[in-house]
Amino acid sequence: MKLLLPVLLLSLALTAPAQTQSRSAQVYRCGPDGRDLRDSPCPGGAPPSSVAYDEPSAADSRSARNRHLADAKQAAALAAARRASEAEARRQKAAHIGLQPAPAAAASAPPLTQIKPPKTAKPAKPKKPASAPGR
């Protein structure tokens, strides 16, 4: 187990630079103003142009991941606040119409008990034959 973590981290470290390479593809701009992009030559014979596809740097990826985590934490906090405010609104509505809130013990599920299997009867021991008095 202790060996697995360094191996995984090493494999991630080796693949990270490979993911940040920029790529380019040969693209043909056709049509008016060159807005029609094709991967095959244009019918009119227009020269190809090169379009670069940049991948984000490691710092950009890290900042995007951090933003995503911060947004997820904020969403979880907002959801918890919404649930709490809805629960409070239900309590206030119940008090307004005269309903008593359920006791905490009744609101929760009853405790689980394990059912033991019934004890089975043990087979009777065989009776030993009575020994003769003269022996």
Residues of the chain scoring pLDDT < 70: 1-23, 32, 44-53, 99-112, 130-135
Report whether 24 contacts 53 (CB < 8 A).
Answer: yes
Residue at 103: amino acid letter: P
Question: For the purposes of burial, counting CB atoms within 10 Å of the CB of 42, is it exposed (0-12), middle (13-18) or buried (19 or more)?
Answer: middle
- Kindly report the average pLDDT of the chain as a whole number: 75
For position 85, what pLDDT does the model report? 95
Q: How far apart are CA 60 and CA 23, in angstroms?
A: 17
| 32-69 pLDDT, tens digit each | 677 788 888 887 665 656 556 677 888 999 999 999 99
> How far does CA 69 lie from the centroid of its chain?
13
Q: Which two tokens stand for residue 4?
A: 């697995």
